[in-house]
Chain A
Amino acid sequence: MKWRANTVIGGALTALALGTALTAAFWTPFDPLRVNLGARLQPPSSLYWLGTDEFGRDVLSRVMAGAGTSVVVALLTVALAVSVGVVVGGVAGYLRGWTDRIIMAVNDALLAFPGILLALAMMIVLGANKSGLVLALGLAYIPSVARVVRGTVLSIREKEYIEASRVIGNSELYSMVRHVLPNAVAPVAVLATSMFGWVLLAESALSFLGLGVPPPAPTWGNMLAASRPYMETAAWLSIAPGVCIALTLLGINLLGDSLRDRLDPRMAHG
């Protein structure tokens, strides 16, 4: 029963975020970048539903455009981390021996950095822009995926049906791709869902620090950072982007929980 509520609420909130991001690609009530100094810091009204910011830009339009940026960054990052992580983890688990030891030693050293710190460090090298952000966050999360995939490959490759696949003459690579890796889909799917949330949070944190997507392009993080000087006079500026991050994360967390409960039913029902 509980996972169903999780799935419904989580799915609805995630769909809302994705839908907003998609809509913003084609339409927003106002141009999110259009400066209108005559309408500075207007509170929410029938014209500007979420008010305007210090440059008179429509907050609703900027929140929608921000959803686009955040979702695109998060999707690309997760795609990067999963695709590279699966290859790295797969190779380590498959070849074992020294290759595995070396790959995993480097992997564990990278895991010794908290993800956000690693991303922060890499932003210095890659520069504060959207592609730099995707690359930095993607690289920061590859080690987690690699570790999960390697664990699955190591435990599966000795199973009898893999042995059988080899015996009937299938190549090692074929057995690996066709029979071993599909076992990693479930744990990687759970990890990827959580990762989507982490990335969203890390992206907004980096943007908040001024190390993410640079203004004037709106992201929820840089909107929150820009709202700080106006907290007392224009509180709506700090509320809207924060609510968006929190609701999207809540949706993803609930969805992640229901996914894990289904793939690991032991946790769902006592």
Chain B
Amino acid sequence: MLGYLARRLAMTIPTLLLVAVAVFTLVRLIPGDPVQVMLGDNADAAQAAQLRAQLGLDEAFPLQFLHWLGKVATGDLGHSITNDLAVLPLILERFQVSAVIVLVAVAAATCIAVPAGLIAAWKQNSALDLAVIGSATLLLSIPSFWLGLLLLLLFGLKLKWLPVIGYVPFSENFWQAAVFMLLPIVTLTVLEIGVLTRMARAASIEVLRLEYVTHARAKGVPEWLVLGRHVLPNAFAPTWTLIGLVLGHLLGGIAVIETVFTLPGLGRLLVDSIFARDYPVVQGCLLFTAVIYVVVNLIVDLCYPLFDPRVAVA
């Protein structure tokens, strides 16, 4: 088990380093002189030189990278060009909004999708299975921003049950915050049910075919116990891996949902900074999201032996 932990942790370091290189290079690839772009046309030479020095752009590329990496390691992601705020606290503040939506949505989707997939697999090729897999495939095909718009149209504008625009932080008023978060969370939950149900069903079908399931049934173990005790834990392992990918995918795609519901999350911060050409924030957001993605998948992998102890031994 410790060996598995150590191996998996060691694998993360080169990935994180390469992620840092990728983000750093990407921002340097932006056509034109970033300083010129940031300051606009009417900046004087002294201002440009000052910003160039401040951004470390007057050094050789590898040196620039090392200096930047050193700062990143201490949590210094620089300052926003538009409002001079430190990038990391800004990102962390916005991340809270995105994290709540994504975590609650994935948890809710898992609670619905895993039993649905298991039951569909159990009744494979029945009308119930067809209904489950059909709905899951349909959900998979609906773009998040469109579903969001439709829900907003129905519950916000037509029925007037929920607010259309706005946001209250959880620290201010929990219930009001929950009301504003409800529609975005429901939108993502509904969509993720599609992906996770299909995975849970496929995994359950594989497990149901194994000999030990037949053996348990032959022993006279009640069917609910076969499913709950023997099939579910093993079928859950591959689904669990997918949950890591889904979390990352959602964090990457959260910008559209935050745009639909006008929420001040991390995705919106990234898109707004792209439009504002606020490169330190763009760089910070990309790096932060990639690191979160790597860390989430690391946690998922580290928890994997809990569901499938064979992994730790292998």
B143 touching A120, Cβ below 8 Å: no
Chain A 240-264, CB-CB to B under 8 Å as 1, else 0, gives 0110011101100110010000000
B290 touching A204, Cβ below 8 Å: no
Q: How many residues of A contact B (CB 8 A)?
A: 46
A120 to B275, CA, bound (A): 12
Chain B 134-160, CB-CB to A under 8 Å as 1, else 0, gives 000110111111100110110001000
B146 touching A238, Cβ below 8 Å: yes
Among residues of A, the one whose C-beta sits closest to the C-beta of B274 is: A124
Give which listed residue, B22, B248, B260, contacts A114 with CB less than 8 A. Answer: B248
Asked whether A121 is an interface residue with its Cβ less than 8 Å from the other chain, the reply is yes
B143 touching A201, Cβ below 8 Å: yes
Residues of A within 8 A of B293 (CB): 112-114
B141 touching A253, Cβ below 8 Å: yes
Residues of A within 8 A of B282 (CB): 121, 124
Which of A34-42, A59-67, A178-186, A227-235 participates in binding chain B? A227-235
A166 to B157, CA, bound (A): 69
A105 touching B18, Cβ below 8 Å: yes
A109 touching B19, Cβ below 8 Å: yes
A231 touching B256, Cβ below 8 Å: no
Which of B23-31, B170-178, B234-242 participates in binding chain A? B23-31
Q: Which of A125, A210, A254 has the most CB of B within 10 A?
A: A125
A204 to B150, CA, bound (A): 16
B19 touching A224, Cβ below 8 Å: no
Q: How many residues of B contact A (CB 8 A)?
A: 51
A224 to B147, CA, bound (A): 11
B256 touching A245, Cβ below 8 Å: no
A113 to B19, CA, bound (A): 8
B18 touching A106, Cβ below 8 Å: yes
Asked whether A79 is an interface residue with its Cβ less than 8 Å from the other chain, the reply is no
Give which listed residue, B125, B143, B146, B255, contacts A209 with CB less than 8 A. Answer: B255
Residues of A within 8 A of B274 (CB): 120, 123-124, 211
Shortest CB distance A247–B (Å): 8
Asked whether B50 is an interface residue with its Cβ less than 8 Å from the other chain, the reply is no
Residues of A within 8 A of B253 (CB): 114, 116-117, 205
Asked whether A108 is an interface residue with its Cβ less than 8 Å from the other chain, the reply is yes
Residues facing A in B113-145 (CB within 8 A) are: 124-125, 130, 137-138, 140-145
Chain A 112-132, CB-CB to B under 8 Å as 1, else 0, gives 111111001111110100000
A208 touching B209, Cβ below 8 Å: no
The A interface, classified by DSSP as helix, strand, loop or mixed, is helix
Asked whether B96 is an interface residue with its Cβ less than 8 Å from the other chain, the reply is no
B124 touching A108, Cβ below 8 Å: no
B248 touching A250, Cβ below 8 Å: no
Chain A 90-118, CB-CB to B under 8 Å as 1, else 0, gives 00000000000000011011101111110
Asked whether A2 is an interface residue with its Cβ less than 8 Å from the other chain, the reply is yes
Residues of A within 8 A of B125 (CB): 2, 270
Among residues of B, the one whose C-beta sits closest to the C-beta of A10 is: B137
Q: How many A-B residue pairs have CB under 8 A?
A: 136
Query: Contacts A113-B290, A267-B205 hold; do A249 and B141 have CB atoms under 8 A apart?
Result: yes
Asked whether B169 is an interface residue with its Cβ less than 8 Å from the other chain, the reply is no
Give which listed residue, A106, A109, A124, A208, contacts B256 with CB less than 8 A. Answer: A208
Shortest CB distance A92–B (Å): 15
B286 touching A231, Cβ below 8 Å: no
A224 touching B275, Cβ below 8 Å: no
Chain B 2-35, CB-CB to A under 8 Å as 1, else 0, gives 0000000000001100110111001001110000
Residues facing B in A184-224 (CB within 8 A) are: 197, 201, 204-205, 208-211, 224
Among residues of A, the one whose C-beta sits closest to the C-beta of B23 is: A121
Asked whether B251 is an interface residue with its Cβ less than 8 Å from the other chain, the reply is yes
Asked whether B36 is an interface residue with its Cβ less than 8 Å from the other chain, the reply is no
- 11 of the cross-chain contacts (CB-CB < 8 Å) are A108-B18, A112-B293, A121-B26, A197-B141, A204-B145, A224-B145, A231-B152, A247-B141, A253-B137, A270-B125, A270-B208
- Which residues of B line the A interface, CB within 8 A? 14-15, 18-19, 21-23, 26, 29-31, 124-125, 130, 137-138, 140-146, 149-150, 152-153, 157, 202, 205, 208-209, 248-249, 251-253, 255-256, 259-260, 270-271, 274-275, 282, 286, 289-290, 293-294
- Which residues of A line the B interface, CB within 8 A? 2, 105-106, 108-110, 112-117, 120-125, 127, 197, 201, 204-205, 208-211, 224, 227-228, 231-232, 235, 238, 241-242, 245-247, 249-250, 253-254, 257, 267, 270
Not counting A108-B15, A270-B124, a sample of 10 additional A-B residue pairs whose C-beta atoms are within 8 angstroms of each other reads A112-B15, A113-B286, A114-B252, A127-B31, A205-B145, A209-B255, A238-B150, A246-B142, A254-B137, A267-B202
Question: 6 closest Cβ contacts across the A-B interface?
Answer: A114-B252, A109-B18, A242-B146, A117-B252, A249-B141, A250-B141
